[in-house]
Amino acid sequence: MINKSKTPKIISWARKKSPWILHFNTGGCNGCDIEILSLLTPYYDVERFGILKESTPRHADILVCTGPVTRQVKTRLLRIYNQMPAPKWVLAVGSCSCSGGVFSGSYNILGGIDQVLPVDMYITGCPCRPEAIIDGIIKLLEEVK
Amino acid sequence: MNITEFLFNILIFPGFLFLLALALGLDWLDRKLIARFQGRVGPPWYQPWADLLKLFAKEDILPAGTNVVFTSLLPLLSFASVMTALFYIPIAFRRVPSFQGDFIVIMFLLSVPSLLYFLAGWATKGVYSIIGGNRSLLQYFSYEVLFLLAISGTIITSNSWSIEGIRQAQFEQGAFILPQIFGFLLALSGLIGKLKRGPLDIPKANSEVIAGPLTEFSGKKLALWILTNELQTVAGLSLLIYCYFGNLWQMNKLSGFLIFSVLLVLMQCLLSAISAMYARLRIDQLIRLNWYLLIPLSLLHNLYLIIK
Ligand code: SF4
């Protein structure tokens, strides 16, 4: 999403070391949200990787979405995505947000997050384990230039 | 003083780079300590540097309809006023220009960011920004009075309105920390409000008003706001150290620098412990606590000092 040839080394280092996430539920069952929140507890403590959970899209680098995209939430999801300053990445957490999961085929959903936004990393599981989310974020950051 | 020495002083040693390292180091210490108090691991030492660099390299967007020049000036002005205040506060073992009344100048310069913080809320027009801005102004009217009243105990005893005079008085009478421990604690609680740290982080309470006046800020402007707050921590703590431990202060000596660092780290530990221990107050609880209890106490304390 960003021009890879131009970024100085120190900036890409800083981007790797300080991913601030914004958590958005696009219509899931709340199972994955609880797993994401458990990342902040002492047991998993993601602040050791510099990950902070921000509450406004303006401060965030990574949009962490859970659940399938419902017809109602689509415009809000796009709006939140547009409010984030570049460079930004999207993480689809849970089977629902990867493909629609147990909700796929339902009349009121559009499918996974990739129906609406460009997704950079998919993390499956219903709900996915916190270890898997950490692994996904770290693998995403390895791609960051 | 020749030009290279001048540039070195402004940019590197007591100037910008040293202050930056000090402020970011204290910020890391704060985050690490709070994490340890909560049983977490905490961020690595370079975390504040990475955060700032990343923010400076990010896109900078503002909501439609905001005045771009005005919103860009706000963080710049608050950064500039804190840096100017730091010029008059003797950080480390540096000698500073001192004159009668420089204390008032420092107090004014340190309170400019709080007012600009409120304006930032209005300028960006978000609902949460405006609520946060109003809260920060309400908070301003309580802690600022408390901080000034509490710290003026040292002015009354030393009978001087200048930083240098307060130091001289402590050389003659001994450090103010023991006879005025009460005033010190009151000033510290005022300082917590000034720095918007927990438990008084009411204007930027995450779970209530998102990020307060900074909700709509991103990129460079947000980085400047964060940097301003960190520099304010250095300024406030150094002022307290200076007013209450003045006789430990040896100018232009390595021991002076060491004493300063140890005191600074100790005070930061105290602030972090307070943040980790107490839950956030409501805005009305804060104002009641300040105006009914802490400000009368500091008035009584000053009265006692005058009579004595
Ligand atoms: S993936 Fe499973 S746990 Fe997560 S939101 Fe979907 S249904 Fe709920």
Q: For chain B, what are the domain ranges?
A: 60-307
In angstroms, rounded to a whole number, what is the distance separating the alpha carbons of residues B15 and A132? 45
Q: What pLDDT is stored for residue B128 in this prediction?
A: 87
B203: which DSSP letter? G
| A21-44+54-143: CATH topology | Rossmann fold (3.40.50)
- Does ligand 1 lie within 6 Å of residue A27's CB atom? no
**Scanning every residue of chain A, which has its alpha carbon at the shortest distance from the alpha carbon of B36?**
A42
- pLDDT of res. B273: 92
Q: Could you tell which of A95, A97, A98, A102 is best to mutate to test the pocket of ligand 1, judged by most ligand atoms within 8 Å of the CB?
A: A95
Per the model's pLDDT, the better-predicted residue between A70 and B92 turns out to be A70
- 3-class secondary-structure state, position A128: coil
Q: What is the pLDDT, as a whole number, of residue B14?
A: 66
pLDDT at B284: 85
Q: SS3 for A121?
A: strand
Give the neighbor-by-neighbor strand order of the sheet with A52-53: A52-53, A20-25, A62-66, A89-93, A121-123
Select the residue of A10, A56, A61 nearest B53 (Cβ to Cβ).
A10
A69 in contact with ligand 1, CB cutoff 6 A: no
- Residues in chain B with pLDDT < 50? none
For position A81, what pLDDT does the model report? Answer: 92
Q: What is the mean pLDDT of chain B?
A: 84
Residue with tokens 């309170």: B111
